């Protein structure tokens, strides 16, 4: 098998993981010194100097610490044609998905990548990076080799990392911010917004491939991994860090591909067909992605698929009593997100991971009615890497951000003839030129 073909396969699998599944990229932490260098060696340089500044954009590195001791890197980016200081527009925080880092928003050309587009429009762009990724900076006392370093799931990413990043951006800018999350970045937002008071610091949120309920995932391979309790097996083996770049990970991917799965078609069979993915750019993507995550995070996601609940991590009966004082882990209550928060969601007809039935449940539980953009031909990864994402997705999202909060529904209705979204119509289905109703079945607003 050629090296390039193998890289494609690994990338396909990574995308699959980009929302779900499988423990085969396990990197035992004691193997980290033997990591396969697929591309550039990890260096101490940050995201600014490795990706953003070389494209001509002013960028500064920031650091903040979570309440449980993780040190997160955050980048601030402004327009390529402007002054060196930060843009004067409103702050906007971009939060990447599973097995990704803040680089995800800058991997295509400046005309195609959301991070660059927002900076050029004058937004004060802040780039979030969760613990464990290449752009975060470890822990005040734990090492990445410690099992305890990886003892977290998206629950901590939401309630600790995201809350900390929002507080940090707010403390620097003294301004309410916009938020854009993709995939895991959407669970983090929904969980944090329903549990904490960060909502006071957020102006509006845009969720790409929104995920909270996972009971209807249809991807066969995910279901197989869940059914065979792969996540629990990994943990039982003593593996706590999931790392695609480890030697073991690469070897196992290789063996899976030879045995059971047609890897050439993996991207399609796992995420659904991504309409607008640039295959010629894959080698470049792989210089930055994928990033590590924790086995416990995967385990938490699989629990949600098994139980169909949007709840906290399940420690088992005694563990739950000890942690939560309850037999079952508490659920996140989506209906507690205040109606004053404006929400926009973009989702795809070919996304095999963010299922429409699950999204329906999320939307019906929200007290407010979010604005929805449905793209029939979009898969899970198109929302960040499609070569047409600016026209198909971002332009609509930015229109939504620009609608002033005070705009009354009557005013928005008047605009319906001109703008494609933001009308009183609950859901718009955009297929390039036509607008029609999408596939969600929405209940009455509460």
Ligand X SMILES: *[C@@H]1O[C@H](CO)[C@@H](O)[C@H](O)[C@H]1NC(C)=O
Among 280, 408, 409, 433, binds ligand X (CB under 6 A): 280
The reply to whether 36 sits near ligand X by the rule CB under 6 A is no
Stretch of 222-230, 275-283, 398-406, 421-429 lying at the interface with ligand X (CB under 6 A): 275-283
Catalytic residue among 29, 79, 113, 183: 183
Give me 247's structure tokens. Answer: 């030697």
Cα–Cα nearest to 128, from 149, 103, 152, 107: 103
By CB under 6 A, the count of residues binding ligand X is 5
Catalytic residue among 358, 380, 382, 396: 380
Residue written as tokens 């991997």? 107
Question: Is the Cβ of residue 235 or residue 282 nearer to ligand X in the bound state?
Answer: 282
Question: Is the Cβ of residue 161 or residue 289 nearer to ligand X in the bound state?
Answer: 289
Question: Is the Cβ of residue 252 or residue 387 nearer to ligand X in the bound state?
Answer: 387
Task: Tell me the closest approach of the beta carbon of residue 285 to ligand X, in angstroms.
Answer: 10
Catalytic residue among 120, 351, 358, 382: 351
Sequence-distant (6+) residues with CB within 8 A of 44 are none
Among 356, 387, 407, 425, binds ligand X (CB under 6 A): 387
Is residue 151 part of the annotated active site? The answer reads no
Q: List residues bridging with 208 in a β-sheet.
A: 182, 346
Question: Is the Cβ of residue 187 or residue 384 nearer to ligand X in the bound state?
Answer: 384
CB atoms within 10 A of CB 231: 25
User: CA 445 to CA 390: how far, in whole Å?
Assistant: 30
The reply to whether 176 sits near ligand X by the rule CB under 6 A is no
Q: List residues bridging with 146 in a β-sheet.
A: none
Task: Tell me the closest approach of the beta carbon of residue 284 to ligand X, in angstroms.
Answer: 6
The answer to whether residues 114 and 208 touch, using CB atoms and an 8 Å cutoff, is: no
User: CA 363 to CA 116: how far, in whole Å?
Assistant: 30
DSSP characters for 27-49? --GGGGGG---SSSPP-S--HII
User: CA 351 to CA 220: how far, in whole Å?
Assistant: 13
Is residue 161 part of the annotated active site? The answer reads no
Q: Is 204 strand, coil or helix?
A: strand
User: CA 262 to CA 5: how far, in whole Å?
Assistant: 12
The reply to whether 282 sits near ligand X by the rule CB under 6 A is no
Task: Tell me the closest approach of the beta carbon of residue 305 to ligand X, in angstroms.
Answer: 34
- Interface of this chain with ligand X, residues 245 to 274, rule: CB under 6 A: none
CB atoms within 10 A of CB 217: 23
User: CA 373 to CA 169: how far, in whole Å?
Assistant: 28
The reply to whether 281 sits near ligand X by the rule CB under 6 A is yes
The reply to whether 39 sits near ligand X by the rule CB under 6 A is no
Task: Tell me the closest approach of the beta carbon of residue 15 to ligand X, in angstroms.
Answer: 16
User: CA 235 to CA 296: how far, in whole Å?
Assistant: 8
Among 196, 278, 357, 415, binds ligand X (CB under 6 A): 278
Is residue 368 part of the annotated active site? The answer reads no
Task: Tell me the closest approach of the beta carbon of residue 113 to ligand X, in angstroms.
Answer: 11
Active site amino acids: 183, 351, 380
Q: Which residues bind ligand X (CB under 6 A)?
A: 278, 280-281, 284, 387
């Amino acid at each position: 098998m050629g090296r390039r073909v193998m890289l494609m396969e690994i990338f396909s699998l990574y995308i699959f993981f980009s929302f779900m599944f499988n423990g085969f990229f396990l990197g035992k932490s004691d193997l980290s010194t033997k990591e396969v260098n697929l591309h550039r060696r990890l260096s101490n340089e940050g995201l600014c100097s490795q990706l953003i500044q070389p494209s001509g954009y002013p960028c500064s590195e920031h650091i903040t610490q979570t309440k449980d001791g993780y040190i997160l890197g955050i980048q601030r980016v402004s327009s390529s044609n402007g002054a060196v200081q930060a843009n004067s527009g409103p702050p906007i925080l971009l939060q990447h998905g599973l097995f990704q880092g803040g680089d995800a928003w800058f991997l295509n050309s400046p005309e195609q990548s959301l991070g660059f587009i927002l900076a050029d429009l004058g937004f004060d762009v802040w780039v979030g990076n969760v613990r464990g990724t290449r752009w975060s900076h470890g822990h005040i006392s734990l090492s990445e080799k410690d099992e305890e370093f990886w003892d977290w799931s998206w629950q901590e990413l939401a309630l600790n990392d995201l809350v900390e990043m929002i507080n940090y951006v707010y403390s620097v800018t003294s301004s309410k911010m916009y938020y854009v999350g993709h995939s895991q970045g959407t669970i983090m937002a929904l969980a944090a917004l329903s549990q904490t008071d960060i909502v006071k610091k957020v102006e509006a949120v845009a969720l790409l491939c929104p995920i909270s309920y996972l009971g209807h995932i249809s991807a066969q391979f995910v279901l197989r991994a869940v059914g065979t309790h792969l996540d629990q097996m990994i943990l039982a083996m003593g593996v706590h860090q999931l790392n695609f770049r480890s030697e073991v990970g690469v070897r196992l991917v290789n063996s899976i591909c030879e045995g059971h799965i047609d890897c050439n078609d993996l991207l399609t069979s796992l995420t659904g067909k991504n309409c607008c993915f640039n295959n010629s750019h894959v080698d470049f993507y792989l210089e930055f992605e994928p990033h590590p995550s924790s086995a416990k995070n995967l385990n938490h996601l699989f629990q949600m698929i098994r139980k169909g609940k949007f709840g906290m991590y399940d420690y088992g009966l005694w563990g739950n009593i000890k942690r939560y004082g309850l037999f079952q882990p508490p659920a996140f209550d989506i209906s507690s997100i205040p109606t004053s928060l404006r929400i926009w969601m973009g989702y795809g007809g070919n996304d095999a991971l963010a299922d429409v039935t699950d999204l329906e449940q999320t939307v019906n539980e929200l007290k407010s009615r979010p604005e929805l953009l449905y793209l029939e031909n979009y898969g899970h990864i198109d929302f960040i890497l499609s070569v047409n994402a600016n026209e198909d997705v971002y332009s609509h999202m930015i229109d939504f951000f620009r609608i002033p909060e005070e705009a009354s529904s009557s005013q928005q209705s008047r605009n319906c003839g001109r703008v494609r979204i933001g009308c009183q119509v609950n859901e718009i289905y955009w297929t390039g030129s036509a607008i029609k109703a999408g596939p969600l079945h929405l209940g009455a607003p509460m």
